[in-house]
Chain A
Amino acid sequence: MKCETLFRSGDHRWLVFGQDPDRPANVIDTNQYVICNGANAMMLDPGGLEVFPPMMASLTHEVALEEIRAIFLSHQDPDIGSSLPLWRRICPPDVKIYLSTLWSGFLSHFDRGAQFTTIPDEGMEVLLGSDLRLRFIPAHYLHSSGNFNVYDPAARILFSGDLGAALIPESARTGTMFVTDFNAHIPFMDGFHRRWMGSTRARDAWLAAVSKLDIDILAPQHGLLFQGDDVKRFLDWLAGLDIGSGVAAMQR
């Protein structure tokens, strides 16, 4: 599994893991992120069961498992956290697991032994290590009803979960982790956003909140990352998109 450093300043790092060449074709590709601050690390959406072996192997090249203090789950989907019981076996026993208050009872179906630190609807701020403040920003209904992003003001990176996600066919992969041609990238994310994102009101509220943040990198859970001007291009594109396309199927 590929790993790239998105940000580094002293011992503050952002790592992205993904584009596993050995991934079975029927398993959707996911990006896993790790934020490190000294000897403290937080995993963001550690992935599904299938991803666990390569992710674990790739992660341990970069971060000692003993340093993982927290696991953040943006929402309840299996590709987000069905590997949770395995990670809990190899991470320190007091690892914190952050999750929307809506989903703790549901995620217990994956891992009945897990103790969750639930995130209230309005989000919250947490400390990683002694001095790195991270913000859990609500992104409800986009697509999950209890959904959060993670913003790191020091690194100016927003982990956006399924917002900005793209399903990129094998033939269109160039090996890069970043969008290099925004217009060419649109077809890979268009259908996903139209169908998966259901609420225009939620989309507009999220855009209003996120537009106030300084973002150098917008990092989704699937597909390529946006950096520089492509971040604003993505937000503008999303603002004009007709979402909730599944409703049409119900009106036939």
Chain B
Amino acid sequence: MNTIAADRRAERTYSTTQRADRLEARAGALLSDCRRAFHAFGELDELAENLRILSLNAELAAGRAGDKGRAVRALTQYTRELVNRLAQIQGEMNGLRTQTYALSSNILLGLLRLHLFERAADLVNDGSHPPSAMRNVNRAFAETMTAMVDTLDSMAVAVEDLARRAHGVEEVVSQSDSIATNIAIEAAAAGVHEKEFRTVSDTMRRYVDDLRKMIDEASECVRRAFEKAESLRRIGLDSLLGISHHQLTR
């Protein structure tokens, strides 16, 4: 009898520990990818400011060039619109970061509670406790897991939002690249102002390259985070399915 109880306990300890560990490892990786994505975007405001200053200087140069600077002036105004768009994305990203970190702390707290309920379930599942004890722990575990799945749903939405912002920055990068190309073309026909416009165009390309690196790194983190959020949600749902109606009511 004791051997059977011990076997059951060992079996349960194995399965629950595996479930909690799987959740915990993936949650840790998800939060780490989110942190990396936000970190990658950390220099976005500085780059946007540099781009804004560059567009102001380019506009001054275009003014000095008179008619030959007319097209460049239009391009710099367009650049400033892109800078405003970047500032808007940056503001949205700050809100998203606060939301993501709040969700992360809920996930960590939920994991701690799941671990403790699992430990309690392992101790109660020894054949000597009344069935109501196991039923109560299972119900508490299921409620906590349901809340966890809800949080993971919100996390997945937050990661999708982050992906949308990253895509927004990508568009800005692509348009800035086109502007830099057009300024270079205008420079070729600007005579004595060529050097000045070419400097603007080269500097802009450098900023575009920096933005592109930032986007590549962040997008990769966002992609991984999204996959992990989805996989975590599936594990959570599987766990809930694993706690059968019978276990909650018997």
Contact = CB atoms under 8 A, between A and B. Distances in A.
B176 to A, nearest CB: 45
Interface stretch (B21-29, B49-57, B126-134): B126-134
A66 B133 CA distance: 10
A49 interface: yes
Interface stretch (B112-120, B178-186, B190-198, B201-209): B112-120
Name the prevailing secondary structure of the A interface residues: helix
A52 B140 contact: no
B163 interface: no
A39 interface: no
Nearest to A89: B140
Interface residues of A, number: 16
A66 B117 CA distance: 17
Contacts of B116: 49, 52-53, 83, 86
A178 to B, nearest CB: 26
A86 B117 CA distance: 8
Contact of A57 (B123, B132, B143): B123
A56 B130 contact: no
B243 to A, nearest CB: 14
Contacts of A57: 120, 123-124, 129, 133
A90 B119 contact: no
Given A53-B119, A89-B140, A66 B132 contact: yes
Interface string A62-88: 001110000000000000000101100
A65 B117 contact: no
A56 B136 CA distance: 10
Given A66-B132, A89-B143, A89-B144, A56 B137 contact: yes
A153 interface: no
A9 interface: no
Nearest to B109: A85
Contacts of B119: 52-53
A252 interface: no
B120 A56 contact: yes
A54 interface: yes
A193 B141 CA distance: 39
B21 to A, nearest CB: 16
Contacts of A130: none
A2 to B, nearest CB: 14
B130 A64 contact: yes
Interface of A: 49, 52-54, 56-57, 60-61, 64-66, 83, 85-86, 89-90
Given A60-B129, A60-B136, 8 more contacts: A52-B116, A56-B133, A60-B124, A64-B132, A85-B113, A86-B113, A89-B139, A89-B143
